[in-house]
C-alpha cells in the first residue's frame, strides 16, 4: 500500500483547515476502512470515494475492488485531481480508476455498489443525503458528534431530525472513533466512522419528501409537544390544515415531544397528516 505521508510529500501539499482539508494519514485507520465493507459481504466491484485527497484511501479501495473491479473518485481540488491522475496513471489506463474533478454535490455520480469516503466535514450532511437514497452500503467518516446523532435512538439527547432521516434509509452503526492525530493537520474535533446498510423501512410513507419535511418541521420545535409543533410549523411542513391534523391525531402522540418519537411513529403521524390535510373532493 502507498504510504500516506509519502503521498503528501509527492503531491507537495499541506492540509488547509480553512478549506476543510484534513488528510487521513494513519495507516491503521486507512487499512481498517475497507474491512467495514468486506465484513458485510457487500459488492465491492464499483466503489465510490468522495474526496480522494492524495489517494491514500483510493489505493486501498483499488485493492479491495480487485483487478476486475473499478473505483471512482470525486475530488473538487484541481491540483489534487491532477495529482491523482498522475499518481494512479497505470490504474486509470487499465480502466480500474476514474477521477472526476468537481464538487460532489454538483457532479453526476456514477452507478456504484458501495462507497467508502472520508467526507469534507463542512458539507458532510449534504453529501450523506445524496448518497443514502441510492440504497448502497456506505462507510463514511464524519465529525464524531455528527456520527453520534446519525445513530442515536429515541429518548436520547443526540436523537433528532438527522437520526430519523438517516435511519429511514438504512441500518446505521458507529464502527470506529478516530482521534485527531490520525489527520494532517489535526482537525479541531474527534472523528467517527459509520456504516450504513440499506434496507426498506418497516413502515409505509406515500410521500417521502413530505415525510422528511414533516420530521424537519417538528424538530425545529423539539422542546414543544407534537400538538404545538404541528400547529407552529405549518410554514415548514406545508400543512394547510394543521388544526385538523391535531384533531385527528391520537392524544398520547400529541403529548409527546419529537425526541420521543421513533421513525415509524413519525411515519404514521405523517401519513395521517397527509390524509387529513387533503380532504376528499365531492363528486
Q: Binding site residues for S-adenosyl-L-methionine, as ranges?
A: 22, 24, 51, 75, 103, 118
DSSP 111: P
Q: Is 85 exposed, middle or buried (0-12, 13-18, 19+ CB in 10 A)?
A: middle
**Which residues are within 8 A (CB) of 142 and not within 5 positions of it... i.e. 6 or more apart?**
119, 121, 124, 128, 150, 191, 192, 193, 194
List the grid coordinates of 49: 470515494
Task: Report yes or no: 66 and 33 within 8 Å, Cβ to Cβ.
Answer: no
| Binding site members | 22, 24, 51, 75, 103, 118
**Which residues are within 8 A (CB) of 151 and not within 5 positions of it... i.e. 6 or more apart?**
163, 166, 172, 173, 174, 194
Cα–Cα separations (whole angstroms), residue 42 to 20, 48, 151, 239: 30, 13, 20, 40
Task: Report yes or no: 172 and 196 within 8 Å, Cβ to Cβ.
Answer: yes
**Cell 438517516 sits at which residue?**
166
Amino acid at each position: 500500500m502507498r504510504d500516506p505521508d509519502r503521498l503528501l510529500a509527492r503531491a507537495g501539499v499541506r492540509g488547509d483547515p480553512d478549506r476543510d482539508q484534513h488528510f487521513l494519514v494513519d495507516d491503521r485507520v486507512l487499512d481498517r476502512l475497507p474491512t467495514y465493507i468486506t465484513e458485510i459481504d457487500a459488492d465491492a466491484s464499483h466503489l465510490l470515494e468522495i474526496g480522494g485527497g492524495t489517494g491514500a484511501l483510493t489505493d486501498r479501495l483499488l485493492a479491495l475492488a480487485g483487478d476486475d473491479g473499478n473505483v471512482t473518485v470525486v475530488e473538487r481540488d484541481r491540483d489534487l485531481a491532477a495529482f491523482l491522475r498522475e499518481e494512479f496513471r497505470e490504474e486509470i489506463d487499465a480502466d480500474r480508476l476514474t477521477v472526476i474533478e468537481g464538487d460532489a454535490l454538483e457532479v453526476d455520480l456514477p452507478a456504484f455498489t458501495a462507497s467508502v469516503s472520508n467526507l469534507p466535514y463542512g458539507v458532510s450532511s449534504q453529501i450523506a443525503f445524496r448518497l443514502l437514497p441510492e440504497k448502497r452500503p456506505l462507510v463514511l467518516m464524519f465529525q464524531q458528534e455528527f456520527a453520534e446523532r446519525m445513530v442515536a435512538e429515541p429518548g436520547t439527547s443526540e436523537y433528532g431530525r438527522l437520526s430519523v432521516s438517516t435511519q429511514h434509509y438504512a441500518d446505521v452503526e458507529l464502527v470506529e472513533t478516530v482521534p485527531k492525530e490520525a489527520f494532517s493537520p489535526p482537525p479541531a474535533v474527534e472523528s467517527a466512522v459509520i456504516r450504513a446498510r440499506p434496507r426498506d423501512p418497516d413502515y409505509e410513507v406515500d410521500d417521502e419528501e413530505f415525510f422528511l419535511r414533516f420530521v424537519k418541521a417538528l424538530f425545529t420545535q423539539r422542546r414543544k409537544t407534537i400538538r404545538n409543533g404541528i400547529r407552529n410549523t405549518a410554514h415548514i411542513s406545508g400543512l394547510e390544515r394543521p388544526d385538523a391534523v391535531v384533531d385527528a391525531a391520537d392524544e398520547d402522540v400529541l403529548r409527546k415531544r419529537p425526541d420521543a418519537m421513533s421513525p415509524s411513529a413519525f411515519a404514521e403521524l405523517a401519513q395521517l397528516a397527509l390524509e387529513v390535510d387533503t380532504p376528499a373532493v365531492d363528486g
